[in-house]
Amino acid sequence: MARTVGIGIQDFEKIVINNIFYVDKTHFIKEWWESGDDVTLITRPRRFGKTLNMNMLEYFFSIRYANKGKLFEKFSIWKEEAYHKLQGSYPVISLSFANVKERDYETTVYRIIQILMKQYEKCSFLKLSNVLSDSEKIYFDKVTKELNEQDAPMALHQLSDYLCRYYDKKVIILLDEYDTPMQEAYVYGFWDELVSFTRSLLYF
């Protein structure tokens, strides 16, 4: 039976469930995991499938998708039995700057801050745990409600630390379209400012 060739679909689960034509790239999971790199930068031509691959990684590793192992059963990664236990076993922070296309520094930073605040909202369960101290809970509430430019560079680091302590595992951070706001910064003349902010944000 002919399979549909989806255009622009960037959700791995949707592709699998709807039996949409998909070139199996799940071996990348094994290749990336066994490289042991702390940081991996993936640069490829446009429309090469980077976003879909990032989404695939999130479905594979994220604790949020611990019950999604069946999505991978017909792909090459599932032939590696050792990887069955890895599926759905890590805290994952997934970010995308794809829609951060502003023409000035202030608005760009504001949009990135909104993305960070949304991540804190998704992890609000941390406030109910015993992992956070009283002062950390106050900080968590502050970030959720009103995060400023001065505190933003540490927000991702802090959330990663909280999740690491909660799950007793290192956190996987996936950042898609990191270069989109950088391209706008270059075009509209605030490159140096945004480079400084982004460097602080991603420094661990």
2 pLDDT higher than 70:
no
> For the chain, what's the residue count?
204
Q: DSSP 3-state assignment of 135?
A: helix
Task: Please give the Cα distance from 97 to 118 (Å, whole number).
Answer: 13
pLDDT tens column, 14-51: 999 988 888 899 999 999 999 988 999 888 777 778 99
Cβ atoms of 71 and 13 closer than 8 Å = yes
pLDDT in tens, 66-102: 999 999 999 999 999 999 999 999 999 999 999 999 9
Q: What is the pLDDT of residues 118-142, one digit of tens each?
A: 999 999 999 999 999 999 999 999 9
Q: Is 13 a residue whose pLDDT tops 70?
A: yes
